[in-house]
Amino acid sequence: MARQVQFDQLGGPEVLTVREVEIDPPGPGEVLIRVEAIGVNRAEAMFREGSYFLQPAFPSTLGYEAAGTVEALGEGVAGLAEGDAVGVVPAFSMNDYGTYGDLVVVPHSAVVPRPSDIDPVTAAAVWMAYITGYGALIDEGGLRAGDHVLLTAAAGGVGLAAVQTARRIGAVPIATTRGADKKQALLDAGAAHVIVTDTEDLPTRVKEITGGEGVRLAFDPVAGPGVDTLAEAIAPGGKLLVYGALDPRPTPLPNAAFYPDLSTSMFTMFRVTADPERLRRAVAFVTAGLGDGSLAPVVDRTFDLDDVADAHRYMESNAQTGKIVITVGHRTDAS
């Protein structure tokens, strides 16, 4: 038996329940993981409430990333052994697999080694954020040393990971936050500049910081009509990558009459995790950064698995700076 989080209808955090379920042994190409910590992501809340690009099939579980140890291996799985410390990266559909539980089955393609000096809580905060940051800024965005990059709504897990990723390659991260209460935390995390959008005009401040040129790349989880304002802060020939939809309103293309030399596209981390070679490069970059200390996940708060609904409520409050992690205790009679 395993303890897993499931839900039977769309709704708020209250629909999430922890249940005792029978768990099948891993099939061909699958791995059974004994979970120690789970990273909480905005995508999971959107999936739960029905606003994600994928609709849940009930009863549904959820969850994209976790840290734990290998419990059992399915047929054909090579390169892993029982007892190995591992992480789970988002490389699957939540209608097929999920990580919210104490024992979970995931595809082998989503399992990566966990460095021996990285504890489970830290490891659970790594892969969604840092693969997204690496994939967007470097793999797809082509960011280089000396480039300015604009990171909006930067106080979340992905935003902080993007700040550190930009720093690691010598780029100049400009972070935004709505209120001044998170400004110091962003500076402490490595942002070269922080723009408080409630009190400062974003395009004006970006032009001041960049000597009038604008940024080479803007990385935005908000979307909505505000992309027009972001476009004003991007240098000619630059890029706008949108990776979320915190603003539910339609997202227009920036006005072509005013911003003709601008590339705009949506970014999804699955472009990286679905491609074995791109994923290999991303994992190598992140693992090296964890090893030399240039990448260091910020964990805002942890919750117990039984308090999963509270973890989602806290995430939706937008009070956090960094990652929210669920910890998993194991009973002596678990099997």
Domain ranges (residues) in the chain: 2-126+297-327, 131-270
What are the C-alpha distances in Å from 323 to residues 93, 120, 296, 312? 22, 13, 11, 12
- The pLDDT, as a whole number, for residue 331 is 47
Unique residue bearing structure tokens 């954020």: 129
For the stretch 246-296, pLDDT in tens is 888 988 877 766 666 889 999 999 999 999 999 999 999 999 999 999 999
Return the DSSP state at 192: S
What is the spatial distance between Cα 288 and Cα 235, in angstroms, rounded to a whole number?
Answer: 31
What is the spatial distance between Cα 270 and Cα 67, in angstroms, rounded to a whole number?
Answer: 19
User: What proportion of the chain, given as a percentage, has pLDDT over 70?
Assistant: 96
Mean pLDDT of all residues belonging to the chain: 94
Under 8 Å between Cβ of 281 and 271: no
How, if at all, do strands 323-327 and 30-40 pair?
A: antiparallel
Return the DSSP state at 139: I
- The pLDDT, as a whole number, for residue 256 is 62
Is the N-terminal amide bond of 203 cis, ω within 30° of 0?
no
**Residue 1 carries which side chain, given as an amino acid letter?**
M
What is the spatial distance between Cα 137 and Cα 164, in angstroms, rounded to a whole number?
Answer: 11
Instruction: Report which of 53, 274, 234, 86 is spatially closest to residue 151, judged by C-alpha positions.
Output: 234
For the stretch 44-70, pLDDT in tens is 999 999 999 899 999 999 999 999 999
Helix (H/G/I), strand (E/B), else coil: 63: coil
SS (H, E, C) 90-120: CCCCCCCCCCCECEEEEEHHHEEECCCCCCH
What is the spatial distance between Cα 52 and Cα 145, in angstroms, rounded to a whole number?
Answer: 34
Prediction pTM value = 0.91
Return the DSSP state at 182: G
Residue range 2-126+297-327, CATH number: 3.90.180.10
Under 8 Å between Cβ of 205 and 227: no
List, in sequence order, the alpha helices (H) in the chain.
42-49, 120-124, 127-134, 157-168, 183-189, 202-209, 227-231, 270-273, 276-292, 308-317
Phi, psi torsion values for 112, nearest 5 degrees:
-130, 150
Residue range 131-270, CATH number: 3.40.50.720
- The pLDDT, as a whole number, for residue 260 is 66
